[in-house]
Amino acid sequence: MLVYNINRFQVLISKNENDSRGEELDNTAQRYERKITWVKRILWIIVIFFVLVVVALFFKVSTEAHQILREAKNVRVCMRLLSIESYGLGNSIYDPTRKNGLAEGVAEEIAKLSKEEGEVTLTAWNEEENLPQQFSYKKGNYIAYYDSEGDKYKTWDIYIQIRLLNFENGEE
């Protein structure tokens, strides 16, 4: 008598030399075991594939966020250089009446100096030190926010925008 353990079930097979039914059951149990083995392998491959995809996506987003941070820091340096230049001319690069908070032509000059293609919005300016106090830099789906209060408190926040829903006019 043979006993097979197949996923918590025991199959008892009596095997006689003259009994062909026992051999048939033995072959069926072996085929079933092989199928279960292949299903387990396929499931493991699928799980490993999804884990690798998640890790790759995390690495991609992290790398792009670091790139946006570097670009935003370059923009901040260019803003400081332009503010020194405009201070020498008796002007300011900050213009709160405009949508992006920058004086006319300053956004183009920042893009030219920093060689960055993102959109800069200056939201607060430190008049005493002639430095940007708050600004945002947007490129693609990423936004970098800069906030400072003096020399000791400076923060950089990087966000990714993901559109979850889109409702257009005329849709009910």
Decide if pLDDT at 3 tops 80: no
Number of domain units in the chain:
2
Provide mean pLDDT across the span 134-154.
88
Provide mean pLDDT across the span 70-96.
89
Task: Give the span between the Cα atoms of 103 and 85, in whole angstroms.
Answer: 13
The answer to whether the beta carbons of residues 112 and 96 sit under 8 Å apart is no
The answer to whether the beta carbons of residues 100 and 119 sit under 8 Å apart is yes
For the chain, how are helix, strand and coil distributed in percent, rounded to 5? Answer: 45, 25, 30
Range of the domain at 127: 57-160
Provide mean pLDDT across the span 68-81.
92
Q: Residue 148: inside a domain, yes or no?
A: yes
Q: How confident is the model at residue 115 (pLDDT cuts 50, 70, 90)?
A: confident
Q: Are residues 73 and 103 in the same domain?
A: yes
The residue with tokens 């699928």 is 46
The 8-class DSSP code of residue 94 comes to B
Q: Are residues 23 and 78 in the same domain?
A: no
Q: Are residues 80 and 107 in the same domain?
A: yes
Provide mean pLDDT across the span 90-94.
85
Q: Are residues 34 and 104 in the same domain?
A: no
Q: Which residues, including other chains, have CB under 8 Å from residue 73's CB and lie 6 or more apart?
A: 156
Decide if pLDDT at 43 tops 80: yes
Q: Residue 168: inside a domain, yes or no?
A: no
Q: Are residues 74 and 152 in the same domain?
A: yes
